[in-house]
Amino acid sequence: MLSIFATDVSSPAAFLRLLFHDCQVQGCDASILLNSKDSEMKCSKNFGIRKFEAIGKLKFVLEAACPRQVSCADIIALAARDSVALSGGPSIQIPLGRKDSRTCSTQQADVHLPSTSIDVDQLLQIFMSKGMNLRESVAILGGHTLGAGHCINIVDRLYKPNPRDEMDPNFQLALKFGCPTKIPMTNLTAIPNDITPTIFDNQYYRDIIMGKGLFSIDSTISRDPRTINIVNQFADDQELFFQAFSSAFVKLSSANVLTGNMGEVRLQCDQVNR
């Protein structure tokens, strides 16, 4: 993992996002890695998801050392966990033993992956369905402290503004400079999620309090009466954020896992066993 991070500082964010997008569709079962006619990657909401090759390389090494023991689903979860720790975040213990699914579904990805315009009610519904409480739901969103967003996901917010969206005016101008057109696919720029995009810290919460959150949900959780106090607490106390994120991460990475004969340990992560 260290060698992967050394060659690409954006790897931790990519692995963390890969875990969420896998677990949100069918559960944490590595279905997102399957290369088939019904691939989840055909869903537009998976735009920018990557590091499939890195997961494949890790699988190759593990198969050579311990054949048919470590699933691709476990590798995704472990890669995301290590991404947090190696970026300065908490060290998290997670259970292992996930099995890989034999199916994937573009339709299920379309239905279950949230849009970038998600509101607080929808956010809480998603994370509470995985057993998270209110504090953990706000904490897991703090994963946005790593990485960057893409113009395609924020142009509507920039050019079709909601009057209730309290974005810092100077921050909005800076975003428009990076995303200068209303046509999403002509904007290829990646915009950092916060001012320390390679460090796992509580800067995300400090930024959104100042109206400098990249996505609309960043603005709304910093003002919603249910979440504003938690956001302020995490902004003031990084250790408090780390504790809540750790428990939330365990619940996220354990969501609807397959065990026993419900799944398999794939030999190659991009295809089911024959």
Q: Is 56 annotated as a binding residue?
A: no
Sorted by sequence, the CB contacts under 8 Å of residue 127 that are 6+ apart come out as 136, 137, 140, 248, 252
Q: Is 265 annotated as a binding residue?
A: no
Q: Is 144 annotated as a binding residue?
A: yes
- Alpha-carbon dihedral angle through residues 46, 50, 53, 57, given to the nearest 10 degrees: -110
Q: Is 22 annotated as a binding residue?
A: yes
Token representation of residue 78: 């472990």
Q: Is 112 annotated as a binding residue?
A: no
Q: Is 74 annotated as a binding residue?
A: no
Q: Is 201 annotated as a binding residue?
A: yes
Residue 54 CA neighbour count, 13 Å, CB half: 23
Annotated catalytic, 21? yes
Sorted by sequence, the CB contacts under 8 Å of residue 182 that are 6+ apart come out as 155, 159
Catalytic residue among 21, 81, 251, 266: 21
Q: Is 231 annotated as a binding residue?
A: no
Residue 10 exposed, middle or buried by CB count within 10 Å (0-12, 13-18, 19+): middle
Q: Which residues are annotated as a binding site for Ca(2+)?
A: 22, 25, 27, 29, 31, 40, 145, 194, 196, 201
What residues are designated binding site? 22, 25, 27, 29, 31, 40, 114, 144-145, 194, 196, 201
Query: Which residue positions form the known binding site for substrate?
Result: 114
Tell me which residues are annotated as active site: 21
